[in-house]
Amino acid sequence: EFVGKQANISDYLGIADVFLLPSELESFGLAALEAQACEAPVVATRIGGIPEVVDDGDTGYLSNVGDVEKMAEDTLRLLNDDDLRRKFGQKGRELAVQRYSTEKIIPQYIAYYEKIVSKTASAAA
């Protein structure tokens, strides 16, 4: 059932058995990261930034673009193995929190902006 635009997608990701992301183009892979934060194992294409947020064989499975057979096999493997699906989901959440939580990211942004401001101030002097 198509549910249309939703204000709180985590309600759906939290009950998903698997999150499929068969993208041909992708920048960062935010959708995959959001799914992992909700403990949904990810089956996605190895494109753009997706491999940075999905550890193949640990938090989900990655396939080459167009390899529909492998994506189907990986999806069925997860759907038929509750323990594996649960393990991937838990590890995906851990990855999301450890690498991309606000506590981790905000200090990196601050350091980056301080570096830029420092360079700009030095250049202006």
Instruction: With respect to residue 3, please indicate whether it lies within any of the assigned structural domains.
Output: no
Instruction: With respect to residue 69, please indicate whether it lies within any of the assigned structural domains.
Output: yes
Instruction: With respect to residue 47, please indicate whether it lies within any of the assigned structural domains.
Output: yes
**Mutual orientation of helices 82-100 and 68-79 as an angle, nearest 10°?**
110
Q: State in Å, rounded, how far the first CA of the chain is from the last one.
A: 61
Calculate the alpha carbon distances from 6 to 1, 13, 96 in Å. 13, 11, 22
**Segments forming the whole domain that contains residue 34:** 10-124
Using CB atoms within 10 A of its CB, is residue 50 exposed (0-12), middle (13-18) or buried (19+)? buried
pLDDT of 93 reads: 98
User: In the chain, how many domains are there?
Assistant: 1
Give the pTM.
0.84
Instruction: With respect to residue 2, please indicate whether it lies within any of the assigned structural domains.
Output: no
The domain that holds 19 is classified in CATH as 3.40.50.2000
pLDDT in tens, 56-98: 999 999 999 999 999 999 999 999 999 999 999 999 999 999 9
42 close to 92: Cβ distance less than 8 angstroms? yes
